[in-house]
Chain A
């Protein structure tokens, strides 16, 4: 599969299926690469995949979720390579099978999370959320289906104003929703009960990488002593340990276009890093975790 074709395929998924997160889209693209690959050895296939991952990352989208998803997928494959005895064709088939199992698990993840998290939504609660997160949306929807009455505040979330869309979707479902300015986070903080945000990536410290503004919200929430909940699938766990905002890799913060063209000092970062001390709980498909448990899970996964 050619580099451009990979990008095309990936972008087609992200554009057409708004319900699919970038990580899953990347994995589906990689599956396609395996299917169409002409290579004859596992080694060659692996190089192909690595090239494909590189191409996907250059698709002008933030790479947080893609990185972790791809790493997990590669891990899956290297593990396969070790315990197969059959021909290359069998090996390839096994990879695809396992990839499908993997994707199925990811699909189920959001349901599990919304089940866990919707218990925290009770009648009369006021929730603040940031930007647009599919898993938060589904959780709110899940709770609404259970006839819980609650109110949601959504930030507009500049620069892409994805909060507007979130607000519209919530109103369509029938959940009372207020759109607030990004700069009004401090203003609404005193009247809300808790915060629910999604995450683009969960890092090894137990902190999260998410749409710019999440950190502001978390700091504000800590000061006002409101719980800060993160809803995220476990395939977003990344082997990365940022020490502070500066230490976050540039490919996370800026899209490829920006990285190539502008002086980074003047560019607006797309994501920020929220340290674990600001996070109350993480709701994932492997359970409700404290931030310190994330690192334990990652060690178990990768070491």
Chain B
């Protein structure tokens, strides 16, 4: 159930941003009621009817709004919810042992969700109540043939129209508009770079912001920042690093002394950001560099994957200290970030080997250590990182090579995730069809609109803790399982 709980948390968090808050609270109340085991059969019926009504009402509303993008996104959410409810009900009924037929029906409908092509069962007692949400979501799935079933909930509409709409808005500061485009076009890549860019944009916002006469600066700032970040979220979901940095800033914002003048507040807020960049990010890098350097010895062969700013820094630092080692850069399509890493390392006169991930097993035998960057470290010790990292860690484990994940503590997340599908990001699927290295166009390009073909370009994966030897943080070299302890300490410090 932990996965569905995560989904619930996620959707709840999104709901907070939703304008229709009243209804959401109603919904969550009914949600809470369904969670309790005490409800009788009759209650269930009424609840279901209620939910169905609500759901239809929402759907109608969204349709009238005509905003196709929004409908798409919310539908997938509600569909998730429906799925969750079905599961909960199935469990509850299995527990009470009542109404066995409906249990079977539930199971069948669930099975259908997974494979919608199978014919629908006829012996359903409450066809309307049971099926309505499922049926509709199936319709939607059919409407979007290019989508991969398993990760339906992750798809986002291309935001180009939305971007052009917001450019003219007075609410969003131009710096954020620019940043949003850079995020969605992947000009700024990597969770560190993205976080730094966000912080510098906030700094510009602080300087430029003039609060209206009657409004307190910080409150106004909060409101403006909210619209800005909402816009950014639409361009590309936040990285964990960004969420953590933003949370830190917001806490400082709300605790600001109200008696200061606007300029003093500005100076203080800028200080807050600069301190964060210095202490939590840059000093962390230095500390991690030192710790990893202590582990690198002469004649080491270090295997790295993709391009990580931190790993780059570490290797340069180790090279500077006069250690003799070589690097194997493993790269993967479609982003081929490893090339940039190769360019930089060769520029620093480090001996490099460059292979694609297909050759991983072959080169792993020669490696002595594996260094990996991370997008986030989750509470159960799993490492979330660019797609392919789990594979590298798995092969390293199979060859008994120590795997070191380098991760600053500001990337630690309270989330728990056991697989890569609950929360992830989907990239441009066209990237998989074209091959930029060959002179002739890829034969796959013509298949782009083929309805039988669905392409999945997923951006992150989750590496289970038992594949990782140690996590190097600025505090210490730790086993993955110590993440909750560090989170607890950090939480205590911030209080």
Q: Is B486 an interface residue (CB 8 A)?
A: yes
Partner of A205 from the list B297, B369, B466, B479 (CB cut-off 8 Å) is: B479
Which residues of B have CB within 8 Å of A298? 476
Which among B470, B475, B478, B479 has the greatest number of chain A C-beta atoms within 10 A? B479
- Contact indicator A299/B475 (Cβ below 8 Å): yes
A248 to chain B: closest CB distance in Å? 12
How distant is the Cα of A243 from the Cα of B478 in the complex, in angstroms?
11
Classify the interface of chain B: helix, strand, loop or mixed.
mixed
- Contact indicator B486/A299 (Cβ below 8 Å): yes
- Contact indicator A241/B470 (Cβ below 8 Å): yes
Given contacts A205-B470, A247-B295, contact A241 B486 (CB under 8 A): no
Given contacts A244-B402, A300-B485, contact A204 B475 (CB under 8 A): no
The residue of chain B having its C-beta at the shortest distance from the C-beta of A241 within the complex is B477
Given contacts A204-B477, A299-B476, A303-B489, contact A243 B482 (CB under 8 A): no
Q: Is A296 an interface residue (CB 8 A)?
A: yes
- Contact indicator B478/A204 (Cβ below 8 Å): yes
How distant is the Cα of A244 from the Cα of B469 in the complex, in angstroms?
10
Which residues of A have CB within 8 Å of B485? 295-296, 299-300
How distant is the Cα of A243 from the Cα of B466 in the complex, in angstroms?
14
The residue of chain B having its C-beta at the shortest distance from the C-beta of A290 within the complex is B481
Indicate with 1 or 0, residue by residue over B476-495, a CB within 8 angstroms of chain A CB atoms.
11110110011001000000
Q: Is B404 an interface residue (CB 8 A)?
A: yes
Which residues of B have CB within 8 Å of A246? 297
A5 to chain B: closest CB distance in Å? 33
Q: Is A206 an interface residue (CB 8 A)?
A: yes
Indicate with 1 or 0, residue by residue over B347-374, a CB within 8 angstroms of chain A CB atoms.
0000000000000000000000100000
Which residues of A have CB within 8 Å of B481? 292, 295
Given contacts A241-B477, A243-B469, contact A299 B295 (CB under 8 A): no
A274 to chain B: closest CB distance in Å? 14
A215 to chain B: closest CB distance in Å? 13
B293 to chain A: closest CB distance in Å? 13
The residue of chain B having its C-beta at the shortest distance from the C-beta of A299 within the complex is B485
How distant is the Cα of A243 from the Cα of B477 in the complex, in angstroms?
10
- Contact indicator A204/B479 (Cβ below 8 Å): yes
Partner of B482 from the list A239, A247, A295, A302 (CB cut-off 8 Å) is: A295
B361 to chain A: closest CB distance in Å? 20
How distant is the Cα of A277 from the Cα of B466 in the complex, in angstroms?
9
Q: Is A99 an interface residue (CB 8 A)?
A: no
- Contact indicator A292/B479 (Cβ below 8 Å): yes
Partner of A299 from the list B404, B469, B470, B482 (CB cut-off 8 Å) is: B482
Which residues of B have CB within 8 Å of A244? 402
How distant is the Cα of A300 from the Cα of B478 in the complex, in angstroms?
13
A289 to chain B: closest CB distance in Å? 12
Indicate with 1 or 0, residue by residue over B390-405, a CB within 8 angstroms of chain A CB atoms.
0000000000001010
How distant is the Cα of A303 from the Cα of B488 in the complex, in angstroms?
12
The residue of chain B having its C-beta at the shortest distance from the C-beta of A291 within the complex is B479
How distant is the Cα of A206 from the Cα of B297 in the complex, in angstroms?
23
A51 to chain B: closest CB distance in Å? 23
Given contacts A205-B470, A241-B470, A244-B402, contact A295 B478 (CB under 8 A): yes
A288 to chain B: closest CB distance in Å? 17
Given contacts A205-B470, A300-B485, contact A243 B479 (CB under 8 A): no
B371 to chain A: closest CB distance in Å? 11
A-B contact count (CB 8 A): 48
A49 to chain B: closest CB distance in Å? 23
How distant is the Cα of A244 from the Cα of B482 in the complex, in angstroms?
20
- Contact indicator B482/A292 (Cβ below 8 Å): yes
Which residues of B have CB within 8 Å of A81? none
Which residues of A have CB within 8 Å of B479? 204-206, 276, 292, 295
How distant is the Cα of A149 from the Cα of B241 in the complex, in angstroms?
58
Partner of B489 from the list A239, A295, A299 (CB cut-off 8 Å) is: A299
A72 to chain B: closest CB distance in Å? 16
Given contacts A205-B470, A244-B402, contact A303 B482 (CB under 8 A): no
Indicate with 1 or 0, residue by residue over A188-226, a CB within 8 angstroms of chain B CB atoms.
000000000000000011100000000000000000000
- Contact indicator B404/A239 (Cβ below 8 Å): no
Given contacts A241-B470, A295-B482, A296-B482, contact A303 B475 (CB under 8 A): yes
The residue of chain A having its C-beta at the shortest distance from the C-beta of B291 within the complex is A241
Which residues of A have CB within 8 Å of B477? 204, 241
How distant is the Cα of A246 from the Cα of B482 in the complex, in angstroms?
24
- Contact indicator B295/A303 (Cβ below 8 Å): no
A232 to chain B: closest CB distance in Å? 18
How distant is the Cα of A277 from the Cα of B297 in the complex, in angstroms?
25
The residue of chain A having its C-beta at the shortest distance from the C-beta of B489 within the complex is A303
Which residues of A have CB within 8 Å of B404? 243
Which among B297, B402, B478, B482 has the greatest number of chain A C-beta atoms within 10 A? B482
Which residues of A have CB within 8 Å of B297? 246
How distant is the Cα of A256 from the Cα of B475 in the complex, in angstroms?
31
- Contact indicator B369/A243 (Cβ below 8 Å): yes
Which residues of A have CB within 8 Å of B470? 205, 241, 243
A204 to chain B: closest CB distance in Å? 7
Indicate with 1 or 0, residue by residue over A234-246, a CB within 8 angstroms of chain B CB atoms.
0000010101101
Which residues of B have CB within 8 Å of A205? 469-470, 479
- Contact indicator B295/A204 (Cβ below 8 Å): no
Which among A239, A241, A276, A292 has the greatest number of chain B C-beta atoms within 10 A? A241
- Contact indicator A299/B478 (Cβ below 8 Å): yes
Which residues of B have CB within 8 Å of A295? 478-479, 481-482, 485
How distant is the Cα of A81 from the Cα of B429 in the complex, in angstroms?
62
How distant is the Cα of A239 from the Cα of B476 in the complex, in angstroms?
9
How distant is the Cα of A241 from the Cα of B402 in the complex, in angstroms?
12
Which residues of A have CB within 8 Å of B402? 243-244, 247
Which residues of A have CB within 8 Å of B489? 299, 303
Which residues of B have CB within 8 Å of A302? 476
Which residues of A have CB within 8 Å of B469? 205, 243
How distant is the Cα of A205 from the Cα of B381 in the complex, in angstroms?
13
B486 to chain A: closest CB distance in Å? 7
How distant is the Cα of A277 from the Cα of B485 in the complex, in angstroms?
20
List residues 438-490 of chain B with CB under 8 A from any CB of chain A. 466, 469-470, 475-479, 481-482, 485-486, 489
List residues 166-204 of chain B with CB under 8 A from any CB of chain A. none
How distant is the Cα of A243 from the Cα of B294 in the complex, in angstroms?
11
How distant is the Cα of A277 from the Cα of B402 in the complex, in angstroms?
13
Indicate with 1 or 0, residue by residue over A29-71, a CB within 8 angstroms of chain B CB atoms.
0000000000000000000000000000000000000000000
List residues 257-303 of chain A with CB under 8 A from any CB of chain B. 276-277, 292, 295-296, 298-300, 302-303
Interface residues of A (CB under 8 A from B): 204-206, 239, 241, 243-244, 246-247, 276-277, 292, 295-296, 298-300, 302-303
List 6 A-B residue pairs with CB atoms under 8 Å apart, sorted by A's residue number.
Answer: A204-B479, A243-B469, A292-B479, A299-B476, A299-B482, A299-B489
Q: Kindly list the 3 A-B residue pairs having the minimum CB-CB distance in the complex, ordered from nearest.
A: A243-B402, A241-B477, A292-B481
| Extra contacts besides A299-B482, A303-B476 (13): CB < 8 Å | A204-B476, A205-B469, A205-B479, A239-B476, A241-B478, A243-B402, A246-B297, A276-B479, A292-B482, A299-B478, A300-B485, A302-B476, A303-B475
